[in-house]
Protein backbone atom coordinates (compact mmCIF):
# COMPACT_ATOMS: atom_id res chain seq x y z
CA UNK A 1 0.00 0.00 0.00
CA UNK A 2 1.39 3.39 -0.99
CA UNK A 3 1.26 6.17 1.55
CA UNK A 4 1.81 9.77 0.71
CA UNK A 5 3.92 11.62 3.19
CA UNK A 6 2.34 14.83 4.41
CA UNK A 7 4.74 17.70 4.67
CA UNK A 8 4.72 19.26 8.13
CA UNK A 9 6.41 22.39 6.92
CA UNK A 10 5.68 25.58 8.73
CA UNK A 11 5.60 28.75 6.74
CA UNK A 12 6.05 32.18 8.13
CA UNK A 13 5.30 35.76 7.33
CA UNK A 14 5.87 38.86 9.35
CA UNK A 15 3.07 37.90 11.76
CA UNK A 16 4.32 34.47 12.84
CA UNK A 17 4.08 30.83 11.87
CA UNK A 18 1.27 29.01 10.11
CA UNK A 19 1.00 25.56 8.50
CA UNK A 20 0.73 25.20 4.73
CA UNK A 21 0.38 21.83 3.01
CA UNK A 22 2.89 21.32 0.18
CA UNK A 23 0.07 21.31 -2.42
CA UNK A 24 -1.32 24.69 -1.27
CA UNK A 25 -0.39 28.06 -2.78
CA UNK A 26 0.01 31.31 -0.86
CA UNK A 27 0.65 34.32 -3.09
CA UNK A 28 2.65 37.20 -1.63
CA UNK A 29 1.95 39.52 -0.02
CA UNK A 30 -0.68 37.78 2.09
CA UNK A 31 -1.09 38.20 5.85
CA UNK A 32 -1.71 34.90 7.64
CA UNK A 33 -1.97 34.70 11.42
CA UNK A 34 -0.12 32.39 13.76
CA UNK A 35 -1.48 28.86 14.09
CA UNK A 36 -3.55 28.96 10.89
CA UNK A 37 -3.64 25.71 8.86
CA UNK A 38 -3.98 25.66 5.08
CA UNK A 39 -4.60 22.16 3.74
CA UNK A 40 -4.50 20.34 0.38
CA UNK A 41 -5.02 22.25 -2.87
CA UNK A 42 -5.92 25.61 -1.28
CA UNK A 43 -5.04 28.94 -2.88
CA UNK A 44 -4.62 32.13 -0.87
CA UNK A 45 -4.30 35.09 -3.26
CA UNK A 46 -2.16 38.17 -2.73
CA UNK A 47 -3.62 40.90 -0.57
CA UNK A 48 -5.72 38.71 1.72
CA UNK A 49 -5.71 39.15 5.48
CA UNK A 50 -6.31 35.99 7.53
CA UNK A 51 -6.36 35.88 11.32
CA UNK A 52 -4.88 33.40 13.80
CA UNK A 53 -5.90 29.77 14.35
CA UNK A 54 -8.00 29.48 11.18
CA UNK A 55 -8.45 26.19 9.33
CA UNK A 56 -8.88 25.96 5.56
CA UNK A 57 -9.80 22.42 4.57
CA UNK A 58 -9.13 20.90 1.17
CA UNK A 59 -9.72 22.89 -2.04
CA UNK A 60 -10.46 26.37 -0.64
CA UNK A 61 -9.86 29.61 -2.50
CA UNK A 62 -9.42 33.02 -0.84
CA UNK A 63 -9.36 36.09 -3.11
CA UNK A 64 -7.17 39.11 -2.54
CA UNK A 65 -8.63 41.94 -0.45
CA UNK A 66 -10.64 39.48 1.65
CA UNK A 67 -10.52 40.03 5.41
CA UNK A 68 -10.93 36.97 7.66
CA UNK A 69 -10.85 37.09 11.46
CA UNK A 70 -9.37 34.56 13.87
CA UNK A 71 -10.57 31.03 14.67
CA UNK A 72 -12.53 30.74 11.40
CA UNK A 73 -13.22 27.21 10.15
CA UNK A 74 -13.62 26.81 6.38
CA UNK A 75 -14.62 23.34 5.22
CA UNK A 76 -13.86 21.67 1.85
CA UNK A 77 -14.49 23.40 -1.48
CA UNK A 78 -15.34 26.93 -0.34
CA UNK A 79 -14.38 30.04 -2.31
CA UNK A 80 -14.26 33.37 -0.53
CA UNK A 81 -14.42 36.19 -3.07
CA UNK A 82 -13.46 39.89 -3.02
CA UNK A 83 -15.94 41.90 -0.98
CA UNK A 84 -16.42 39.32 1.78
CA UNK A 85 -15.55 40.24 5.37
CA UNK A 86 -15.56 37.43 7.91
CA UNK A 87 -15.32 38.18 11.62
CA UNK A 88 -13.91 35.88 14.34
CA UNK A 89 -15.27 32.39 15.14
CA UNK A 90 -17.24 31.93 11.88
CA UNK A 91 -17.93 28.43 10.48
CA UNK A 92 -18.31 27.87 6.73
CA UNK A 93 -19.69 24.43 5.86
CA UNK A 94 -18.59 22.28 2.92
CA UNK A 95 -19.30 23.74 -0.52
CA UNK A 96 -21.17 26.78 0.76
CA UNK A 97 -21.26 29.68 -1.69
CA UNK A 98 -20.51 33.36 -1.03
CA UNK A 99 -21.21 35.62 -4.01
CA UNK A 100 -20.03 39.15 -4.80
CA UNK A 101 -22.00 40.23 -7.90
CA UNK A 102 -25.82 40.45 -8.02
CA UNK A 103 -25.92 40.81 -11.80
CA UNK A 104 -23.12 38.68 -13.28
CA UNK A 105 -22.43 38.59 -17.00
CA UNK A 106 -19.27 37.07 -18.44
CA UNK A 107 -18.94 39.81 -21.08
CA UNK A 108 -19.43 42.73 -18.63
CA UNK A 109 -16.59 43.66 -16.26
CA UNK A 110 -17.92 44.90 -12.92
CA UNK A 111 -14.95 44.53 -10.58
CA UNK A 112 -15.54 48.00 -9.17
CA UNK A 113 -19.16 47.08 -8.35
CA UNK A 114 -18.54 44.03 -6.17
CA UNK A 115 -20.85 44.16 -3.19
CA UNK A 116 -19.79 43.74 0.43
CA UNK A 117 -20.96 40.75 2.42
CA UNK A 118 -20.41 40.67 6.17
CA UNK A 119 -20.41 37.46 8.20
CA UNK A 120 -20.48 38.57 11.81
CA UNK A 121 -18.80 36.92 14.77
CA UNK A 122 -19.77 33.33 15.53
CA UNK A 123 -22.22 32.74 12.69
CA UNK A 124 -22.42 29.39 10.92
CA UNK A 125 -23.16 28.78 7.25
CA UNK A 126 -24.29 25.21 6.52
CA UNK A 127 -23.15 22.84 3.79
CA UNK A 128 -24.19 23.86 0.27
CA UNK A 129 -25.88 27.05 1.52
CA UNK A 130 -25.71 30.17 -0.65
CA UNK A 131 -25.28 33.69 0.70
CA UNK A 132 -26.17 36.36 -1.88
CA UNK A 133 -23.85 39.37 -1.75
CA UNK A 134 -24.61 42.70 -0.19
CA UNK A 135 -26.10 41.35 3.02
CA UNK A 136 -25.07 40.79 6.62
CA UNK A 137 -25.36 37.53 8.53
CA UNK A 138 -25.71 38.53 12.19
CA UNK A 139 -23.69 37.39 15.20
CA UNK A 140 -24.20 33.71 16.03
CA UNK A 141 -26.85 33.35 13.32
CA UNK A 142 -27.20 29.87 11.85
CA UNK A 143 -27.84 29.28 8.14
CA UNK A 144 -29.13 25.75 7.54
CA UNK A 145 -27.61 23.40 4.98
CA UNK A 146 -28.85 24.12 1.46
CA UNK A 147 -30.47 27.44 2.36
CA UNK A 148 -30.31 30.44 0.00
CA UNK A 149 -29.97 33.65 2.00
CA UNK A 150 -31.15 36.67 -0.01
CA UNK A 151 -31.62 39.23 2.80
CA UNK A 152 -30.02 40.23 6.09
CA UNK A 153 -30.14 37.68 8.91
CA UNK A 154 -30.47 39.11 12.44
CA UNK A 155 -28.16 38.17 15.31
CA UNK A 156 -28.92 34.64 16.63
CA UNK A 157 -31.44 33.92 13.81
CA UNK A 158 -32.00 30.41 12.44
CA UNK A 159 -32.38 30.73 8.65
CA UNK A 160 -33.90 27.81 6.72
CA UNK A 161 -35.10 27.22 3.15
CA UNK A 162 -34.90 28.65 -0.34
CA UNK A 163 -35.23 31.55 -0.15
CA UNK A 164 -34.20 31.43 3.50
CA UNK A 165 -36.68 32.59 6.11
CA UNK A 166 -36.13 32.97 9.83
CA UNK A 167 -37.41 29.85 11.55
CA UNK A 168 -36.35 30.49 15.13
CA UNK A 169 -33.45 31.57 17.31
CA UNK A 170 -30.10 29.96 18.09
CA UNK A 171 -27.94 30.13 21.19
CA UNK A 172 -24.35 31.28 21.12
CA UNK A 173 -23.39 27.59 21.40
CA UNK A 174 -25.37 26.50 18.33
CA UNK A 175 -28.57 25.12 19.85
CA UNK A 176 -32.10 26.02 18.86
CA UNK A 177 -33.69 28.05 21.62
CA UNK A 178 -37.06 27.15 23.12
CA UNK A 179 -38.78 30.04 24.80
CA UNK A 180 -40.48 29.80 28.19
CA UNK A 181 -43.95 31.34 28.79
CA UNK A 182 -42.23 34.35 30.43
CA UNK A 183 -40.37 35.05 27.15
CA UNK A 184 -36.95 33.83 28.34
CA UNK A 185 -34.91 31.26 26.46
CA UNK A 186 -32.24 29.13 28.09
CA UNK A 187 -29.37 27.40 26.32
CA UNK A 188 -29.35 23.67 27.18
CA UNK A 189 -26.84 22.88 29.99
CA UNK A 190 -24.87 20.41 27.85
CA UNK A 191 -24.32 23.08 25.22
CA UNK A 192 -21.66 24.99 27.09
pTM, entire model = 0.89
Most confident of 4-18, 64-78, 107-121: 64-78
Per-residue pLDDT at 5 exceeds 80: no
Asked if 8 and 26 count as a contact pair (C-beta separation under 8 A), the reply is: no
CA distances in angstroms from 91 to 22, 79, 124, 138, listed in the order given: 24, 13, 5, 13
pLDDT value of residue 104: 82
pLDDT value of residue 112: 76
CA distances in angstroms from 111 to 83, 90, 122, 182, listed in the order given: 10, 26, 29, 50
The whole-number average pLDDT for the span 97-108 is: 86
- pLDDT tens, residue by residue, 7-50: 445 565 544 599 999 999 999 999 999 999 999 999 999 999 99
Query: Cα–Cα distance between 20 and 87 in angstroms, integer?
Result: 22
Return the percentage of the chain with pLDDT > 90, whole number: 73
pLDDT value of residue 7: 46
Count of beta carbons in the 10 Å neighbourhood of residue 143: 27
Per-residue pLDDT at 106 exceeds 90: no
pLDDT value of residue 171: 93
Nearest alpha-carbon partner for 139 in 186, 93, 171, 94: 171
Query: Cα–Cα distance between 88 and 111 in angstroms, integer?
Result: 26
Amino acid sequence: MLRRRVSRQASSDRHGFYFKHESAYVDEPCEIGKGTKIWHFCHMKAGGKIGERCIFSQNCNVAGDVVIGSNVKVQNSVSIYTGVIIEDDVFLGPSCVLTNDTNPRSQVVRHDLYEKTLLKRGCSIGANATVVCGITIGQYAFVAAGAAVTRHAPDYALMIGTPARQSGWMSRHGHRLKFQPDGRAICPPKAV
